[in-house]
Amino acid sequence: MPELLKQRVETCYQQAEAFFKRPFPRPEVSFKLRGQKAGVAHLHENRLRFNLQLYRENQDDFLRQTVAHEVAHLVAHQLFGDRIQAHGEEWQLIMRGVYELPPNRCHNYAVERRVVTRYIYRCPCPESDFPFTAQRHKLVRQGRRYLCRRCRAVLVYSGETRVE
């Protein structure tokens, strides 16, 4: 499946080269992106990362819109440098002029949010629940201390958890 995506990256580059009449270095393409983002362009490393799960679930739109969106970031950076806005007029020019696509900033793919456990910490202040992530809870177990900003007391694990 990633081969179609890589082919689309190449097609986008060929379109940009024909439009601007100059070559562009090809990026490294990775599929190690998770979470809510469909794709990320790393401008200074000339690297693209894509979310394979979102690609599988939205293949047609992903190939058409998301790949062009991320390639347009790299092309805009190589043409105009660091001082442009990520979704500014230069990037929009490439989306409209080169790829003939709407310059949509964000995707609208359905993304399932992860269920996360929060560890509830408290201090003497009234109604003081501090939901800690698993990572922060682990740091406390290893000896790190966190203080309440109001009363400056050490936050203490209540033994309660909450699933969000």
Would you list which residues are annotated within the binding site for Zn(2+)? 69, 73
Known binding-site residues equal 69, 73
Angstrom distance (rounded) from CA 1 to CA 98:
25
Which residue among 3, 57, 70, 160 is the active-site one? Answer: 70
Annotated catalytic, 70?
yes
- The conformation of residue 35, written as its DSSP 8-state character, comes to S
Contact between 130 and 155 under an 8 Å Cβ cutoff? The reply is yes
Q: Which residues of 64-101 are buried (b: 16+ CB within 10 A; e: fewer)?
A: ebbbbbbbbbbbbbeeeeeeeeebeebbbebbeebbee
**What kind and span of H or E run contains 156?**
strand 156-163
* C-alpha dist (Å) from residue 143 to 82, 87, 139, 140, 151: 42, 44, 6, 5, 20
Angstrom distance (rounded) from CA 25 to CA 46:
8
Catalytic (active-site) positions: 70
